[in-house]
Amino acid sequence: MRKDLIKTLLLSLSLVLAACPGKNNSSQSGGILSFDETAAAGETVREANNILKEIKQQFKDNEPKLEELQNALKEKNADKVRAIAEELITQINLGTEAGKEAINKLRIAQDKNINEDYKEYLFLKTQALEKYVEAFEERRQAAILLRQGYDPKNAANRDQVVAAFKEREEKFKEIMEEARKSSEQANQLAKESLNRRS
């Protein structure tokens, strides 16, 4: 009877220890009372990536609009400047909403029970995407400036609006570069993580 009691105690103790994640066991296995959600997180990330592909395609499709805008500014064609600015604002609004949806999906994936490397990767990807959204807000504000304030007949006003537009475009490029670096850092982390496992 005493042997049975000791066996029961040892079995109970081993189950408790297995259920409690230790330093080396943390979120990689999570213990028997928790479960790994890597597959579910991966599916959520795939959904976010599909949204991002759409955003990238929209961005690529709208790049010629910037050239058209530059030409309209050179021609001092106020109607054309306003019309193109309006199109850009609409497209940026759509892209921003989609970007926020992708960010939300990455955050959902990050909150799942996944290993620390994956959490860090998702954190960096989310950070990069937030930077992209921030950058496009700069571009949207630049387009709003042109739509509302561009007047080629008023030289002082025109120069002021064009200068503010250029300043916001420079800020856009800076933030896009920061976003690119965060994204590269996440990709590097993913490669290193895969190398450690092989």
Q: Is the CB of residue 174 less than 8 Å from the CB of residue 127? A: no
pLDDT the model gives residue 137: 93
Q: What is the pLDDT of residues 72-88, one digit of tens each?
A: 999 999 999 999 999 99
Residue 2 lies in a domain: no
pLDDT the model gives residue 26: 39
Instruction: Kindly compute the dihedral angle of the four CA atoms of residues 141, 142, 144, 147, in this order, to the nearest 10 degrees.
Output: 180
Residue 32 lies in a domain: no
- Other CB atoms within 10 A of residue 109 CB: 26
Q: Is the CB of residue 100 less than 8 Å from the CB of residue 133? A: yes
Q: Is the CB of residue 165 less than 8 Å from the CB of residue 140? A: no
Burial of 159 (C-beta count, 10 Å sphere; 0-12/13-18/19+): exposed
Domain count, the chain: 1
Residue 147 lies in a domain: yes
pLDDT the model gives residue 3: 47
Residue 94 lies in a domain: yes
Residue 186 lies in a domain: yes
Residue 51 lies in a domain: no
Q: How far from 88 is each of 64, 75, 79, 84, CA to CA, in Å?
A: 11, 19, 14, 6
pLDDT the model gives residue 78: 93
- Other CB atoms within 10 A of residue 69 CB: 21
Residue 77 lies in a domain: yes
pLDDT the model gives residue 198: 59
pLDDT the model gives residue 197: 66
Q: Residues 38, 125, 56, CA angle at the centre, nearest 5°?
A: 115
Report which DSSP code applies to 71: H
Contacts of 126 (CB under 8 A, 6+ apart): 103, 106, 107, 110
Residue 34 lies in a domain: no
Q: Specify the residue for token string 């002082």.
A: 156
Q: Which domain holds residue 92?
A: 64-198
pLDDT the model gives residue 57: 85
Q: Which amino acid is at 25?
A: N
Show the low-confidence residues of the chain (pLDDT under 50): 2-34
Report which DSSP code applies to 25: T
pLDDT the model gives residue 108: 92
pLDDT the model gives residue 171: 94
pLDDT the model gives residue 9: 30
